[in-house]
Amino acid sequence: MLAVLSRELGLAPARIRQRAQSILRELVQDCSASKVPFLRLAPIRQQLQLGQVEDALLAREAVVADLTRMLEQLSRQSPSQVDLQTCLSQQGVAEYAGVHPRTIRRWRDQGLVFEWASVEGKSQLVVDVGRLDAFLATRPLVKLRGFRHDNEVQRLSLRNPDQAQHIPRETLRRWRKRGHKRDRLREDRAAGLVWRWGIEPIRWNQRAKISDDTRRRRVQRDRVRRLLHLNAQHPIVASPRITGAPEAVERFVQARWAAHQLVMALQPCSSYGAILQAEDVLRSCGWWYAHCFAGTPQQNGALAALFPSILSGETVRFAGRLRLEVERVHHGVQRSWDASDPFGPALPGFGCQRDFLSDDLASLATAWLGLDGVPPVPWSELRPGRGPRGQADDQRMILQASGPFRVPM
C-alpha cells in the first residue's frame, strides 16, 4: 500500500512533491508520538490529497519507518542547500549523541527524519539539530537503556567465560573507553600457531568461541606481522645495482628486492595468495643467500662486508669491490659472516620431516621448501590444476610434518 503511495509521489510534479514533504514531516512526528498500535491508510492519503484506494490497517512502527524512507526518497530528487552549522550527518549524530552509527539506523526507523541535501557539492543525508534535540528529548535516559544499566554490566561480566559471547556491544565500547583493550597481537599469534601446528579449525573455533572468518582473519594478520618483522630485521634500502657478480649473488639481491616490495605492499586484510607469494620469495631469497658463500673464509668475510653496500643501492662492480674487501681482511680487518639462511627458520615449513609424509607429498615439500640442493619453487607453480581446498590440505600436511613452529632465539 505505502509502496504504491511512494511511487505516485515520486512521479508527481515538483510542486506536489514539495508540499508532500512538509506534510510527511508532520505525519512522521504525529505517528511517532502516538501510542495507537495500528493506523489506517485512508487518513494519510487524504492529507496528501491523493486518489482513493482500498483502506488498510497498518502497524504504527511500520508506518513510521515507511513514511521516513518515503521522505528521504522525495528529498533525494531535489536536494536542498543547507548550512553545516545547523545540520549533522549520520556520523555527526552518532558523535553528538554518544551512540554507535548502527543506533542511528534504528532511530531513522523510529521517527528521526534525515533528508538529502547538497553539502559542499556532494549529496549527503543530514538532519536538523533542532529536530535531533527534540527526538532525543523523547528518548529514555541513558542509564535505563537495556544493558547500559550497571547491574546488567556486572552480571554479564567477562569474569564468567560462559557469558562472554552475550556481552552487548555498548558494554564492550564502554570498557574500551576505560582502557580495557583486547590483545589482538596475542590472538593473532595464537591463531597463527594453531594454523602451523595443524590443529583442526573446528577445535580452535570451539575453544576460542570464534567463527571461521575470524580465525582466518587472525591467521592472515599474524602472517603479515611476521613478514614485516622479518623484512625489518634484514633491511634493504633501494634496488641493487651490481655487475659481474656470480649467479647466486645476483639471484639473492634480485629476490631480496622483490621480497621487500611484496612485503611492504601487504596489509592485514591482504589475500592468502599475496601473503604466500611474499613468503615464497623470501624462502627463495634465503636459499640463494646460503649459496653465495662458496669461497675461502677470507672471501666469505669480504662478501659479508660487501652485501650492506649492495643492498643500500650503490652501483657496485663486484670483482673490484670484492678485491678491496679481501685486501682489508689481509690487513687485519676481521669480518664476521654467517652462511646460514636468515629467512628460512622464520618461515612456515622449515625443518620438514619428510619421513612422515607420503611419497607424493614428500616430493612436493622438497620442491616447495628447496631441500636436497634444489632451489625452492613457488607454491602456486607446483599444482596449478589442484583447487584451493586441496592445495590448503596439502600445505597443512607439510606444515604438520614440520613440527611446532618455533622462532629461533
The pLDDT tens digits of the residues spanning 312-321 come to 888 888 888 8
Q: Supply the pLDDT for residue 164.
A: 42
What's the average model confidence in pLDDT over 354-369?
88
Q: Supply the pLDDT for residue 387.
A: 81
46-78 b/e (C-beta count within 10 Å ≥ 16 → b): eebebeeeeeeebeeeebbbbbbebbbebbeee
Residue where the block lists cell 614428500: 362
Nine-digit cell at 197?
Answer: 601446528
Q: Note whether 210 and 188 are within 8 A (CB).
A: no
The string of pLDDT tens digits covering residues 252-266 is 999 999 999 999 999
Closest CA to 255 of 284, 292, 224, 290: 284
**Which residue did the predictor score with more confidence, 243 or 388?**
243
How high is the mean pLDDT of the chain? 77
C-alpha atoms less than 13 angstroms from C-alpha of 312 in its C-beta half-sphere: 7
Q: What are phi and psi of 122, to 5 degrees?
A: -125, 145
What's the average model confidence in pLDDT over 139-159?
43
pLDDT grade, residue 405 (50/70/90)?
A: very low
What's the average model confidence in pLDDT over 304-309?
88
Q: Supply the pLDDT for residue 389.
A: 77
Q: Supply the pLDDT for residue 378.
A: 92
Nine-digit cell at 57?
Answer: 490497517
Q: Note whether 240 and 253 are within 8 A (CB).
A: yes
For residue 383, pLDDT over 90 is answered with no
The string of pLDDT tens digits covering residues 37-80 is 777 667 776 676 665 656 667 677 777 787 887 888 777 777 77
What's the average model confidence in pLDDT over 346-352?
84
What's the average model confidence in pLDDT over 200-213?
76
Q: Note whether 255 and 285 are within 8 A (CB).
A: yes
What's the average model confidence in pLDDT over 84-100?
82
Lowest-pLDDT range, 23-37, 193-207, 248-262, 346-360? 193-207
What's the average model confidence in pLDDT over 124-128?
84
The string of pLDDT tens digits covering residues 10-34 is 666 666 777 777 787 877 777 777 7
Q: What percent of the chain has pLDDT over 70?
A: 77
Q: Supply the pLDDT for residue 333.
A: 66
For residue 8, pLDDT over 50 is answered with yes
CA angle, residues 362, 367, 373, in degrees to nearest 5: 105
149 dihedral zone (left: phi>0; alpha: psi -120 to 50; beta): beta
The count of other CB atoms within 10 Å of the CB of residue 83 is: 9
Specify the CATH class of 80-139 in words: mainly alpha
Which pTM was predicted?
Answer: 0.53
Q: Supply the pLDDT for residue 313.
A: 87
pLDDT grade, residue 247 (50/70/90)?
A: very high
Report how far residue 130's alpha carbon sits from residue 386's, in angstroms, rounded to the nearest whole number.
62
Report how far residue 238's alpha carbon sits from residue 257's, in angstroms, rounded to the nearest whole number.
8
Q: What percent of the chain has pLDDT over 90?
A: 12
Nine-digit cell at 388?
Answer: 584451493
DSSP state letter for 377? -
Q: Supply the pLDDT for residue 393.
A: 80
What's the average model confidence in pLDDT over 89-107?
83
Q: Supply the pLDDT for residue 145.
A: 42
What's the average model confidence in pLDDT over 209-226?
84
pLDDT grade, residue 335 (50/70/90)?
A: low
- Dihedral sign, Cα of residue 110, residue 112, residue 118, residue 120: negative
Closest CA to 29 of 132, 125, 106, 142: 132
Spell out the residues 6+ positions from residue 223 whose beta carbon is closer than 8 angstroms to its own: 192, 275, 279
For residue 234, pLDDT over 70 is answered with yes
